[in-house]
Amino acid sequence: MYATGLFCVDLDNNGYMDVVNANGNDMCPQPLTIYNNWGKETGEPYYLPNYADDKGFNTRIKIGDLNKDGWQDIVMISVFKRAQFNPESFTSQSDLNGSDLYKSGSVKVYMNNRGIIPSTATYEIELGTFPFDIDLGDFDADGDLDLAVANIGQLNENGVFVPAKSVICLNENGILKSKKIWETDYSFNAMSIKFADLNLDGLLDLTIGHSPGHPGEKRIKTNEAISVFYGKLDSNNEIGIDTNVGWSFGFGSSLAAVTLNIGLLREGENSVPNKKDVIFLVGIQGVKEDEEAFKLVNSHRMLNSSNCFGEDFYVIGCQEKKIYWKTDVTDMNVNKPSFSSMGDLNNDGYADLVLGFFKMEEGNLNDGAPFFIFEGKPGDANGSRFKQIYRSKAHGVNQEIFLGYARKYTKVKSNKIEQRRFTQVFSPNRPVVTLPCNVVLSIDSVKVDKVMQNYGAYSWSYATNVLTLNNSFKHAVEVEVVYKTPLKKDIYIAYWNANIGNAIYYSQYSKP
């Protein structure tokens, strides 16, 4: 399997995390796979997966309870479909348009029926584009999760690949619709997308990572590769997100924000999120100016190209709008930053980074690369410093990285699982709560002004630290959230290599 997307989630509510994989990438059609964890003492999932019957060029996964029935549903990208064509009809490869090789992709939804995932997608969302990344968040604060889609492009009426607008699709009665309720003013070659409250104003913002520039009707050549769209209140106090770019950030000519994480530099039960601690963790890769944009879809053509100066992981302060820290891939002897995760691995109150790469500096893609752990420490006024403390012996083409807990996470244990309580006063019509923790495994209860809220009164995208209330309170309220986080954070990695699959690296941390 060419494992690309990976998510760990308790699908059957037995207290153990199952492993969900999106397979195929741009290599060949493959199915969604689920490795169930039946409660084995080691936390190791069953080694034989359940395979979906429908196959596709599957890449990214997000998890959330779309219909609020208490069971987590699966949302997955199939980035494109192969077109049927006769190569003898063309005199040369240069005569082929994108439409001769590819058809637009889709987003597949697998609804969880009391722990049973259907063998084929419950439904598909088709937007006429090539979706590259997705995220779930409550765009309109109505109590259910909506879908944000980063589109890397689309085919125009002449079958030529062009940039596309990224969109948000509405959740209506538990079903994600193809109807677009929001779209960017600009078109992008968008590669990553995330919901988060960047400025901690109680409104949900949207961030898109993309290849440099804001192509619209007129192509604007700039170096910007991250674009932020801020949440807003209109004159009627209706909640939404601005379609104009609020601010943007660039890394240099031809450098694209391929992967994107948003988190907190400092975390802990007694901490309160601070604007200066909100960061982007971005994986940057080079995109050659003379390459056709459509090669971004068939991404491994780009990855096999020569190394590009500036391809690193960057930590960027969202409030300061500047680089806090970056890797040095030359010293690390690796290249092509891929996926990442962040969380306080040693529970010292500072976020640590887990960073994956596709290849070695002088190697090829099939040989892969190690992954690294960088420990976060108190830094200067610019934020935290990060120091490399681990380099894996195993090599692989590192795809999605997930921090979770392989053993029973629902039972509170003093040295393994901790239940935390977060209380804060929020302003009217500001429904978004950001928890002071990067790895959240469950929301146990929510109170507003000491009144317990039912499950339908808030929305939460699984494993994130963002919770949205579905009521627009006309006065300031005190919100209390009780949640669980693992003190031992195991590392799950999906390897793109066909002969490797997934790996779990168990945390050896022991609470003092």
| Residue 303 confidence (pLDDT) | 52
Cα–chain-centroid distance for residue 464?
10
| Residue 72 confidence (pLDDT) | 96
Q: Quote the CA–CA distance of 188 and 150 in Å, as a whole number.
A: 9
Name the DSSP letter for residue 475: S
| Residue 308 confidence (pLDDT) | 76
Question: Which residues, in sequence order, are CB contacts of 210 under 8 Å at separation 6+?
Answer: 150, 188, 189, 190, 191, 192, 225, 226, 227, 256, 257
Mean pLDDT of 355-382: 84
Instruction: Label the pairing between strands 123-125 and 102-110.
Output: antiparallel
Q: Quote the CA–CA distance of 411 and 183 in Å, as a whole number.
A: 42
Q: Quote the CA–CA distance of 370 and 394 in Å, as a whole number.
A: 6
Q: Quote the CA–CA distance of 435 and 424 in Å, as a whole number.
A: 10
Structure tokens at 422: 């977060």
pLDDT at 293 exceeding the cut of 80 = no
pLDDT at 292 exceeding the cut of 70 = no
DSSP 96-147: --HHHHEEEEEEEEE--BTTB--SS-SEEE--SSEEEEEEEE-TT-SSS-EE
Question: Which residues, in sequence order, are CB contacts of 289 under 8 Å at separation 6+?
Answer: 253, 254
pLDDT at 268 exceeding the cut of 90 = no
Q: Quote the CA–CA distance of 5 and 131 in Å, as a whole number.
A: 14
Q: What is the pLDDT of residues 404-415, one digit of tens each?
A: 988 877 777 666
Instruction: Provide φ and ψ at 244, rounded to 5°.
Output: -90, 150
Q: Whole-number mean pLDDT of the chain?
A: 85
Instruction: Label the pairing between strands 432-434 and 417-426.
Output: unpaired
Q: Quote the CA–CA distance of 493 and 395 in Å, as a whole number.
A: 11
pLDDT at 87 exceeding the cut of 50 = no
Helix and strand tally (H, E) in the chain?
3, 37
Identity of the amino acid at 358: F
The pLDDT > 90 percentage for the chain reads: 52
Q: 399 near 339, Cβ under 8 Å?
A: yes
Q: Quote the CA–CA distance of 484 and 343 in Å, as a whole number.
A: 14
Q: Quick one: which of 373, 333, 369, 379 has its CA closest to 354?
A: 373
Q: 369 near 334, Cβ under 8 Å?
A: yes
Q: Quote the CA–CA distance of 202 and 204 in Å, as a whole number.
A: 7
Structure tokens at 301: 């053509």
Structure tokens at 268: 């802990």
Reported residue count of the chain is 512
In order of 347, 377, 411, 436, 468, the CA distances from 350 in angstroms are 7, 6, 25, 11, 25
Question: CA angle, corner 451, sides to 446 and 455, nearest 5?
Answer: 40
| Residue 86 confidence (pLDDT) | 44
Structure tokens at 448: 């507003």
SS3 189: coil
In order of 94, 157, 163, 294, the CA distances from 97 in angstroms are 8, 11, 15, 10
Q: What is the pLDDT of residues 277-286, one digit of tens each?
A: 999 999 998 8
The pLDDT confidence band at residue 288, using thresholds 50, 70 and 90, is low
Instruction: Label the pairing between strands 102-110 and 73-82.
Output: antiparallel
Identity of the amino acid at 229: F
The pLDDT confidence band at residue 290, using thresholds 50, 70 and 90, is very low
Identity of the amino acid at 505: Y
Between these two residues, 402 and 306, which has the higher pLDDT value?
402
Q: What is the pLDDT of residues 213-250, one digit of tens each?
A: 765 544 455 678 999 999 998 878 789 999 999 999 99
| Four-point Cα dihedral 44, 49, 54, 59, nearest 10 | 30
What pTM was computed for the model? 0.92
Q: Quick one: which of 283, 168, 287, 300 has its CA closest to 231?
A: 168
| Residue 217 confidence (pLDDT) | 45
88-97, 252-261, 469-478: segment of lowest average pLDDT = 88-97
Q: Quote the CA–CA distance of 492 and 414 in Å, as a whole number.
A: 23
| Residue 475 confidence (pLDDT) | 83
| Residue 413 confidence (pLDDT) | 67
Q: What is the pLDDT of residues 22-50, one digit of tens each?
A: 888 777 888 899 988 887 766 666 767 78
Structure tokens at 392: 């894996």
The pLDDT confidence band at residue 459, using thresholds 50, 70 and 90, is very high
